[in-house]
């Protein structure tokens, strides 16, 4: 052992649910654990739609590891769940509470700043007892290697740290997974982009508009032609004194349609269906965005390399079970299983086997099967080809298809209620757009309300965010500024837009030697670190230094 | 015993009833076992156990009577405090933490192994056993099992010399590691230190170790101080490029607060003394007083215009000893003070401050806590025999400066104390302070203080280091303090170079004008020609992440008025905006808004000023009433 660097038995990178679970479980095993978090506070960099699940079949749930979790860190339990199929102003609503409750011990809405910072306090207490602790404002920027072997991590702010186990729980766009060669950020097909607004709403108004008691909450999902042809949907979850409204789209579809994420969110916010809930006192607390991996395509089958284990979004463990999105719960399971694996490996005097043991546990505990369902593999082989989509869409939109849908009407709840069926839904226009639209057209009833919601402009949304800018140190560098290579980011970046000068990406005309050329410019100061341009543009992409960049208050 | 009851035939409610009919513990025990191996329902197990309790037979005893195998662990390890099989792994972690008894843990381990035998549970229990055993060993350190670093930690907990000597023996007959032996020996020295210290203290180090160099041998002045008198808190106020730096003010504010508290606590009348050294520094005395100093001692000399390590150290030390304990080579009388040396000194932890603090404290033969972020004064009760002079006793040290410094990025804090030894005084108690640790005080111009000039002949030798050349880091362009700022935004996109040329031309119309840009320009891809490129760099950015300006006149051409830009300029006296978009946000906070193309408006504006047709000075004066001017599409300006 070289004394040159500080050494811990385990270093956990990232204090989201995956890192918190890993650290708590490691601490329970008495493993000396240091947790490093790049935000000023845990949760200040994190965004999620907002539902955390405790699955009955899961090896670990968050309240196993943090007993007071639901009381202290979550918002409201979801006691009702609806899916709305939308076509114009016609809506067909399906109750999917059954699907939601399948294998669900409980499920609560959460806001990540509150949740993660609470977890971090517990984690700090627990890991301190082992001789470690939790440090914020520290960004791990890579793996420390010796003779080609991973032996620890390197950071922007402190000296390299050696460890017997490195847990990469650094979220989507994991720089550690990339450094280890486990993940690339190349293919937009593998990702979703989520964009969200947290809307202020006093508890009594929530109770009134959603008809819920103090310990009840509602979740709504939206699909259909709300978003033109972009594949994805919307959600609305009630929190204690706010609601989270957002959209989740396939990134490749966003790019193909040149859609503006903030406009898609606005389309949802201003839809007459939402008028009943948003009233005429719309006040947005925070606009946020994050990329989410599609576990069906990217969940790492062997999320480890040497002493490194990768958990949560960093390992692609984000499951879209039809319309229901599960990420935090799997991150918790994975983090705790990784800890278990390390403790076992250590007691068998075979620390290098931790990674293998972890992967094995993911399989034997059934986590991997949820992340990469076998039935999806079979269907998607056929279903995602354009030709098939077109044929299916053709049938659905024909008289025959429409009649079939009408005949189905009594059974829609059951159809959407089957977890097996929803897990095999292929990612095509059909399931996201065509089918819901036809359902609404054929079976829906018109909405009579009118929306008075006026969402803030993008400039206002950016202006309302909190930034600690690392002046002079942009964290993203544009490698190729041609429109071909990087132009997609101008619309796909959630804080940029065509013809908007105040965002990150802009298209500009420049003349050199009399030739006019369209090029892309980048200003990283408005960046919300969603990760989109790492995939859709040609960049050198890193996160800002510890404590720098955007700071989410809600998340 | 009749037919054994098979619990899996019943629902839990039914089972409860059935159990009433079972009268022997043996039978209940087998029911319990059967439930465990079949459905293993928590509630069912609970019901069976309740019944066992009713019968007055604790579960564990029942096992002992009946099953040999399980009886073994009872003999070996005692009862498990609970049944691990009832819990899943996640619940077990926290539960195990409450178990402090190794035997109980071993029993749990056996119970698990002979029960469900889950790998992860076994590991969990084993690691808890390991952990507890580790801490148990601390009493009896076996050096051969420990790395040197571990050994270092382990011996810190051992206070008896005999034990330590036994460990030393063990090491010598074992691995005999030099480093390990040193560690143990130094621990022995430190626990028995008091006695030795006393015996040896009278022998000065030069005599004790004649074979070594003694670079501090000439510091007799301080060493000789016995029962020295100390007073005041001294603050070294650093200046840079002729200006007092913020950390100096911060330290003065803090010192004021500390000394006020000190005077209350100890019913004393001590002061904050600011020290200024340099060329032309007396001018800062007033501000030092406003920030909290009672006395300012300064030394000026044109040779001191930049920091010189040797010279500054000599001057500071001479000031510190000024009027002190008379003796050979001591400075003369000081009528402004009556103590031998300062009680406390604080320096800024800047580059120069760090250099100076280290050398000054060495010269005064005291200690230094470097890079501190917190200070307070309190009594301290100390048991370390080196300090008390007598092992096993406590001694109260009064008026101790507690100096908190962050370790490992502020993850941990150490509090450093600088305490006298029985035979040696460590004063002044000194710290260097990380800039920004304390609040900037609100200067109070009504405060009064004494200003004292220090005089000592500066030895040429002190200036052996000559600064032949120096580079001032590019300070960039300062846009503040000008009458006029001409600022350009992305509206120049159609012909960026021409746009910047117009800005230069307009700026040239005024006596004191500078050119600024928006971030949109800084981060844009425009190809500017060489002669205007310099005006488009980040150093000229105005706004939240650039400079904040308040000129008399701010001309904003082709700027939309994003809030991040606005915060850098909206305190300007008069704002004139030129924009093609009548809805542009900048209109909301402009005094004059000219709707038009900057490529047309600016040339006409320049023309009008040059020909004297338009007096923008006059515009400025009238600007407060925020009249709006809207030009026609051709860009006419109306006043
Ligand atoms: C954290 C953060 C910090 C920031 N810090 C700063 C900062 O310090 N300073 C700063 O400036 N920005 C800052 N920004 C960026 C800021 O939001 C805007 O992006 C920027 O100010 C826009 O620059 P602009 O007005 O030049 O460009 P745009 O917003 O694109 O405006 C161009 C304007 O020119 C007008 N125009 C076009 N053609 C013509 C013409 N021919 N004649 C006249 N008008 C024309 C248009 O109508 C438009 O109003 C920051 C952003 C963030 C998120
Ligand atoms: S610049 Fe890139 S990472 Fe930042 S918000 Fe835009 S797309 Fe996301």
pLDDT tens-digit readout, B350-408:
999 999 999 999 998 888 999 999 999 999 888 888 888 888 888 889 999 999 988 76
In a domain, B479, yes or no: no
Question: What per-residue confidence (pLDDT) applies to A392?
Answer: 62
Residues B523 and B617 placed together within one structural domain of the fold? yes
In A, minimum Cα distance to B525 occurs at A521
Label residues A70-86 b or e (16+ Cβ within 10 Å = b).
Answer: beebbbbbbbbbbbbbb
Residues B615 and B491 placed together within one structural domain of the fold? yes
In what helix (H) or strand (E) does residue B414 lie, and over which residues does it extend?
Answer: strand B412-416
Question: What per-residue confidence (pLDDT) applies to B552?
Answer: 96
Give the pairing type, strands A445-446 and A90-95: antiparallel
- Which carries the bigger pLDDT value, residue B71 or residue B126? B126
Instruction: Tell me if A341 sits within 8 A of A265, measured CB to CB.
Output: no
Question: What's the mean pLDDT in A380-392?
Answer: 60
Residues B188 and B320 placed together within one structural domain of the fold? no
Residues B34 and B121 placed together within one structural domain of the fold? no
Confidence band of B639 (pLDDT split at 50, 70, 90): very low
What's the A222 CA to ligand 2 centre distance in angstroms? 25
Q: What gap in Å lies between CA B522 and CA B503, rounded to an integer?
A: 15
Question: What per-residue confidence (pLDDT) applies to A377?
Answer: 63
Residue A292 distance to chain B (closest CA, Å): 28
Q: What gap in Å lies between CA B455 and CA A76, rounded to an integer?
A: 73
Question: What per-residue confidence (pLDDT) applies to A462?
Answer: 98
Q: What is the mean pLDDT of chain B?
A: 83
Interface test with A, best of B93, B179, B495 (most A CBs within 10 A): B93
Residue owning tokens 């000396």: A32
Is the per-residue pLDDT at B1 higher than 70? no
Question: What's the mean pLDDT in A291-314?
Answer: 96
Q: Which two tokens stand for residue B77?
A: 């390890």
pLDDT by residue (tens digit) across A437-464?
A: 888 888 888 998 899 999 999 999 999 9
Q: Which two tokens stand for residue A449?
A: 């309300």
Ligand whose nearest atom lies closest to the CA of A532: 2
Interface test with B, best of A23, A27, A29 (most B CBs within 10 A): A29
pLDDT by residue (tens digit) across B408-444?
A: 655 677 888 888 888 788 889 999 999 989 999 999 9
Confidence band of B293 (pLDDT split at 50, 70, 90): very high
In a domain, B340, yes or no: yes
In sequence order, what E strands does B11-131 have? none
What's the A227 CA to ligand 2 centre distance in angstroms? 21
Q: Which two tokens stand for residue B40?
A: 């293993």
Question: What's the mean pLDDT in A106-118?
Answer: 98
Q: Which two tokens stand for residue A125?
A: 């207490």
Task: Pick the atom of ligand 1 nearest to B493's CA.
Answer: 38
In a domain, B204, yes or no: no
Residues B269 and B235 placed together within one structural domain of the fold? yes
Q: Indicate whether residue A478 lines ligand 2 (CB < 6 A).
A: no
Ligand 1-lining residues (CB < 6 angstroms): A 462, 467, 469, 501-502, 525-526; B 489-491, 494, 518-521, 541-546, 558-560, 562, 564-565, 568, 578-581, 584, 597-599
Q: What is the CA radius of gyration of chain B?
A: 40
Tell me what ipTM this predicted complex has: 0.88
Instruction: Tell me if A273 sits within 8 A of A222, measured CB to CB.
Output: yes
Is the per-residue pLDDT at A173 higher than 50? yes
Residues B386 and B244 placed together within one structural domain of the fold? yes
| Secondary-structure breakdown of chain B: helix, strand, coil percentages, each rounded to the nearest 5 | 45, 15, 40
Residues B169 and B243 placed together within one structural domain of the fold? no
In a domain, B444, yes or no: yes
pLDDT by residue (tens digit) across B443-464?
A: 999 999 999 999 889 999 999 8
Neighbouring residues of B423: CB distance < 8 A, sequence distance ≥ 6: B197, B198, B201, B202
Confidence band of A354 (pLDDT split at 50, 70, 90): very high
Domains defined for chain A, CATH in brackets: 6-75+110-183+300-371 (3.50.50.60), 77-109+185-294+376-422+424-464 (3.30.9), 467-551 (3.30.70)
Q: Which two tokens stand for residue A126?
A: 């627990």
Residues B407 and B279 placed together within one structural domain of the fold? yes
Is the per-residue pLDDT at A84 higher than 70? yes
As beta bridge partners, residue B318 has none
* Alpha-helical regions (H) of A365-398: 367-371, 374-383, 386-397
Residues B130 and B183 placed together within one structural domain of the fold? no
Residues B315 and B371 placed together within one structural domain of the fold? yes
Between helices A328-347 and A354-364, what is the axis angle to 10°?
130
Q: Which two tokens stand for residue A141?
A: 């920027």
Question: What per-residue confidence (pLDDT) applies to A526?
Answer: 98
In a domain, B222, yes or no: no
In a domain, B489, yes or no: yes
In A, minimum Cα distance to B125 occurs at A29
Q: What gap in Å lies between CA A46 and CA A550, rounded to an integer?
A: 10
Is the per-residue pLDDT at A150 higher than 60? yes
Neighbouring residues of B397: CB distance < 8 A, sequence distance ≥ 6: B379, B380, B381, B382, B387, B417, B419, B420
Q: Indicate whether residue A315 lines ligand 2 (CB < 6 A).
A: no
Interface test with A, best of B88, B90, B563 (most A CBs within 10 A): B90
Which of helix, strand or coil describes residue A541?
Answer: strand
Confidence band of A231 (pLDDT split at 50, 70, 90): confident
Task: Pick the atom of ligand 2 nearest to A530's CA.
Answer: 8
Question: What's the mean pLDDT in A465-483?
Answer: 96
The beta-carbon neighbor of A471 closest among B123, B524, B545 is B545
Q: What's the structural domain count of chain B?
A: 5
Which residue range forms the structural domain that includes residue B509? 484-638
Q: Indicate whether residue A535 lines ligand 2 (CB < 6 A).
A: no
Question: What's the mean pLDDT in B147-176?
Answer: 80
Residue owning tokens 């809506």: A91
Lowest mean pLDDT among A263-267, B185-189, B280-284: B185-189
In a domain, B471, yes or no: no
Q: What gap in Å lies between CA A261 and CA A258, rounded to an integer?
A: 9
Residue A210 distance to chain B (closest CA, Å): 36
Question: What per-residue confidence (pLDDT) applies to A286?
Answer: 98
In a domain, B62, yes or no: no
Q: Indicate whether residue A532 lines ligand 2 (CB < 6 A).
A: yes
Question: What per-residue confidence (pLDDT) applies to B356?
Answer: 96
What's the B407 CA to ligand 2 centre distance in angstroms? 35
Q: What gap in Å lies between CA A339 and CA B621, rounded to an integer?
A: 71
Question: What per-residue confidence (pLDDT) applies to B632?
Answer: 38
Question: What per-residue confidence (pLDDT) applies to B638?
Answer: 41
Fill in the DSSP letter of residue A88: T
Q: What gap in Å lies between CA A238 and CA A220, rounded to an integer?
A: 9
Question: What's the mean pLDDT in B607-611?
Answer: 92
User: Is A514 exposed, middle or buried (CB count within 10 Å of its CB: 0-12, 13-18, 19+)?
Assistant: exposed
Lowest mean pLDDT among A436-450, B26-40, B187-201, B285-299: B187-201
Using CA positions, which residue lies closest to atom 39 of ligand 1? B491
Is the per-residue pLDDT at A488 higher than 90? yes
Task: Pick the atom of ligand 1 nearest to B581's CA.
Answer: 47
Task: Pick the atom of ligand 1 nearest to B559's CA.
Answer: 25
Residue B629 distance to chain A (closest CA, Å): 25
State the CB neighbour count (10 A cutoff) for residue B128: 23
What's the B99 CA to ligand 1 centre distance in angstroms? 64
Question: What per-residue confidence (pLDDT) applies to A378?
Answer: 59
Question: What per-residue confidence (pLDDT) applies to B571?
Answer: 96
Lowest mean pLDDT among B49-63, B221-235, B518-532: B49-63
Ligand whose nearest atom lies closest to the CA of A464: 1
We report the CATH number of the domain holding residue B452 as 3.40.50.620
In sequence order, what E strands does B83-163 have? none
Residue owning tokens 């001018």: B283
Q: Indicate whether residue A531 lines ligand 2 (CB < 6 A).
A: yes
Is the per-residue pLDDT at A142 higher than 60? yes
Question: What per-residue confidence (pLDDT) applies to A1?
Answer: 46
Question: What per-residue confidence (pLDDT) applies to A419?
Answer: 62
In sequence order, what E strands does A3-103 have? 6-13, 33-36, 51-55, 80-87, 90-95
pLDDT by residue (tens digit) across B468-489?
A: 888 777 668 999 999 999 999 9
Q: What gap in Å lies between CA B380 and CA B360, rounded to an integer?
A: 25
Q: What gap in Å lies between CA B138 and CA A399, rounded to an integer?
A: 83
pLDDT by residue (tens digit) across B27-64?
A: 888 888 888 778 778 788 888 877 877 776 444 433 33
Percent of chain A beyond pLDDT 70? Answer: 89
Q: What gap in Å lies between CA B57 and CA B45, rounded to an integer?
A: 15
Is the per-residue pLDDT at A148 higher than 80? yes
- Which carries the bigger pLDDT value, residue B164 or residue A490? A490
Q: Which two tokens stand for residue A338?
A: 């990784």
Instruction: Tell me if A233 sits within 8 A of A223, measured CB to CB.
Output: yes
Instruction: Tell me if A317 sits within 8 A of A331, measured CB to CB.
Output: yes
Lowest mean pLDDT among A21-30, A52-61, A502-511, B66-75: B66-75
Question: What's the mean pLDDT in B602-629?
Answer: 71
- Which carries the bigger pLDDT value, residue B333 or residue A27? A27
What's the B486 CA to ligand 1 centre distance in angstroms? 14
Residues of B in contact with A29 (CB under 8 A): 93, 123-124, 127
> Cβ B124–A502 below 8 Å, yes or no?
no
Residues B190 and B157 placed together within one structural domain of the fold? yes
Residues B91 and B33 placed together within one structural domain of the fold? no
Confidence band of B66 (pLDDT split at 50, 70, 90): very low
User: Is B537 exposed, middle or buried (CB count within 10 Å of its CB: 0-12, 13-18, 19+)?
Assistant: middle
Confidence band of A204 (pLDDT split at 50, 70, 90): very high
Residue owning tokens 């709305």: A84
Is the per-residue pLDDT at B69 higher than 60? no
Q: Which two tokens stand for residue B266?
A: 């100890």
Q: What is the mean pLDDT of chain A?
A: 91
Q: What gap in Å lies between CA B472 and CA B122, rounded to an integer?
A: 65
Question: What per-residue confidence (pLDDT) applies to B284?
Answer: 96
Q: What gap in Å lies between CA B188 and CA B166, rounded to an integer?
A: 11
Question: What per-residue confidence (pLDDT) applies to A114?
Answer: 98
Which of helix, strand or coil describes residue B371?
Answer: strand
Residues B290, B292, B296, B299: is their CA dihedral positive or negative? negative
Confidence band of A413 (pLDDT split at 50, 70, 90): low
Question: What per-residue confidence (pLDDT) applies to B637?
Answer: 43
């Amino acid at each position: 052992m070289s004394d040159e660097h500080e050494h811990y038995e385990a270093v956990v990178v990232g204090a989201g649910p995956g890192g918190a679970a890993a650290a708590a479980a490691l601490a329970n095993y008495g493993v000396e654990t240091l947790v490093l978090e790049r935000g000023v506070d845990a949760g200040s960099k994190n965004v999620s739609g907002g539902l955390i699940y405790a699955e009955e079949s899961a090896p670990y749930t968050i309240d196993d590891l943090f007993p007071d979790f639901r009381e202290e860190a979550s918002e409201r339990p979801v006691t009702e769940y609806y899916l709305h199929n939308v076509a114009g102003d016609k809506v067909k609503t399906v109750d999917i509470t059954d699907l939601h409750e399948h294998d669900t011990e409980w499920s609560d809405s959460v806001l990540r700043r509150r949740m993660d910072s609470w977890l971090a306090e517990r984690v700090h207490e627990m890991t301190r007892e082992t001789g470690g602790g939790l440090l914020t404002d520290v960004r791990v920027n890579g793996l420390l290697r010796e003779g080609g072997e991973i032996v620890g991590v390197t950071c922007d702010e402190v000296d390299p740290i050696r460890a017997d186990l490195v847990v990469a729980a650094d979220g989507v766009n994991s720089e550690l997974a990339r450094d280890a060669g486990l993940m690339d950020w190349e293919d937009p097909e593998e990702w979703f982009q989520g964009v969200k607004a947290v809307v202020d709403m006093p508890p009594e108004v929530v109770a009134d508009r959603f008809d819920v008691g103090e310990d009840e909450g509602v979740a709504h999902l939206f699909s259909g032609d709300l978003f033109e042809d972009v594949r994805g949907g919307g959600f609305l979850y009630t929190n204690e004194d706010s609601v989270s409204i957002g959209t989740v789209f396939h990134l490749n579809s966003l790019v193909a349609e040149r859609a503006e994420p903030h406009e898609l969110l606005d389309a949802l916010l201003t839809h007459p269906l939402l008028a009943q809930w948003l009233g005429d006192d719309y006040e947005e607390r925070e606009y946020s965005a994050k990329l989410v991996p599609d576990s069906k395509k990217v969940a790492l089958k062997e999320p480890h390399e040497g002493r490194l284990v990768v958990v949560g979004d960093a390992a692609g463990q984000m499951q879209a079970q039809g319309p229901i999105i599960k990420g935090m719960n799997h991150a918790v399971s994975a983090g705790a299983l990784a800890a278990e694996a390390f403790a076992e490996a250590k007691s068998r005097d075979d620390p290098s086997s931790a990674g293998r043991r972890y992967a094995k546990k993911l399989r034997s505990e059934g986590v991997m099967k949820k992340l990469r369902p076998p039935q999806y593999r079979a269907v998607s082989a056929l279903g995602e080809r354009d030709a098939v989509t077109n044929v299916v869409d053709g049938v659905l939109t024909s008289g025959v298809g429409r009649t079939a849908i009408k005949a189905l009407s009594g059974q829609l709840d059951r159809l959407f209620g089957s977890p097996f069926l929803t897990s095999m839904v292929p990612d095509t226009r059909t399931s996201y757009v065509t089918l819901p639209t036809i359902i609404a057209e054929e079976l829906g009833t018109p909405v009579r309300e009118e929306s008075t919601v006026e969402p803030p402009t993008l400039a206002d949304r950016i202006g309302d965010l909190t930034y600690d800018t690392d002046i002079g140190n942009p964290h993203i560098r544009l490698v190729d500024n041609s429109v071909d290579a990087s132009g997609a980011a101008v619309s796909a970046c959630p804080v940029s837009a065509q013809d908007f000068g105040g965002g990150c990406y802009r298209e500009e005309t420049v003349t050199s030697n009399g030739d006019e050329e369209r090029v892309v410019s980048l200003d990283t100061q408005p960046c919300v670190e969603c990760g989109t341009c790492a995939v859709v543009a040609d960049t050198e992409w890193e996160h800002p230094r510890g404590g720098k960049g955007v700071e989410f208050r809600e998340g | 015993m009749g037919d054994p009851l098979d619990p899996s035939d019943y629902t839990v409610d039914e089972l409860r009833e059935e159990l009433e009919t079972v009268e022997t513990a043996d039978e209940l025990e087998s029911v319990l076992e059967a439930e465990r191996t079949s459905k293993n329902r928590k509630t069912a197990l609970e019901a069976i156990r309740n019944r066992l309790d009713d019968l007055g037979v604790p579960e564990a005893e029942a096992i002992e009577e009946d099953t040999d195998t399980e009886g073994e662990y009872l003999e070996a390890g005692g009862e498990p405090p609970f049944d691990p099989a009832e819990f899943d792994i996640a619940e077990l972690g926290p539960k195990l933490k409450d178990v402090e008894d190794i035997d109980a843990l071993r029993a749990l381990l056996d119970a698990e192994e002979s029960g469900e035998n889950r790998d992860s549970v076994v590991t969990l229990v084993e690691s808890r056993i390991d952990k507890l055993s580790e801490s148990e060993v601390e009493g009896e350190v076996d050096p051969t099992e420990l790395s040197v670093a571990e050994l270092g930690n382990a011996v810190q907990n051992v206070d008896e010399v005999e034990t330590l000597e036994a460990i030393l023996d063990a090491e010598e007959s074992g691995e005999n590691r030099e480093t390990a032996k040193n560690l143990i020996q130094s621990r022995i020295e430190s626990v028995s230190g008091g006695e030795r210290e006393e015996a040896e203290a009278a022998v000065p180090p030069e005599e004790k170790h004649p074979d070594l160099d003694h670079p501090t041998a000439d510091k007799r002045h301080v060493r000789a101080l016995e029962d020295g008198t100390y007073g005041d808190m001294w603050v070294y106020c650093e200046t840079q490029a002729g200006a007092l730096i913020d950390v100096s003010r911060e330290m003065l504010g803090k010192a004021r607060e500390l000394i006020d508290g000190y005077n209350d606590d100890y019913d004393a009348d001590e002061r904050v003394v600011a020290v200024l050294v340099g060329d032309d520094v007396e001018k800062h005395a007033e501000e030092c007083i406003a920030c909290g100093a009672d006395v300012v001692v300064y030394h000026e000399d044109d040779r001191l215009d930049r920091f010189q390590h040797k010279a500054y150290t000599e001057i500071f030390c001479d000031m510190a000893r000024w009027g002190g304990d008379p003796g050979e080579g001591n400075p003369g009388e000081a009528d402004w003070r009556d103590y031998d040396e300062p009680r406390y000194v604080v320096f800024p932890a800047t580059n120069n401050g760090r250099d100076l603090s280290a050398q000054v404290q060495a010269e005064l033969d005291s200690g230094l806590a470097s890079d501190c972020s917190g200070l307070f004064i309190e009594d301290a009760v100390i048991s370390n025999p080196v300090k008390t002079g007598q092992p096993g006793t406590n001694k109260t040290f009064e008026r101790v400066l507690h100096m908190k410094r962050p370790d490992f990025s502020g993850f941990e804090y150490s509090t450093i104390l600088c305490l006298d030894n029985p035979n040696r005084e460590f004063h002044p108690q000194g710290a260097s302070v990380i800039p920004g640790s304390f609040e900037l005080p609100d200067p109070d111009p009504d405060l009064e203080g004494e200003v004292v000039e220090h005089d000592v002949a500066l030895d040429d030798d002190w200036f052996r280091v000559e600064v032949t050349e120096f580079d001032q880091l590019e300070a960039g362009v300062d846009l503040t303090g000008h009458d006029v700022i001409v600022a350009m935004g992305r509206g120049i996109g159609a012909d960026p170079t021409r746009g910047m040329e117009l800005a230069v031309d307009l700026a040239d119309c005024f006596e004191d004008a500078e050119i600024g840009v928006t971030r949109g320009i800084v981060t844009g891809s425009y190809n500017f020609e060489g002669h205007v490129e310099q005006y488009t760099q980040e150093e000229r950015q105005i706004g939240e992440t650039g400079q904040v300006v308040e000129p008399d006149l701010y001309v904003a051409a082709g700027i939309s008025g994003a809030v991040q830009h606005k915060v850098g300029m909206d305190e300007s006296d008069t704002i004139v905006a030129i924009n093609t978009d009548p809805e542009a946000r900048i209109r909301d906070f402009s005094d004059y808004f000219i709707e038009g193309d900057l490529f047309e408006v600016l040339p006409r504006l320049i023309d009008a000023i040059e020909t004297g047709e338009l007096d923008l000075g006059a515009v400025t004066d009238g600007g407060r009433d925020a009249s709006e001017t809207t030009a026609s599409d051709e860009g006419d300006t109306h006043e």
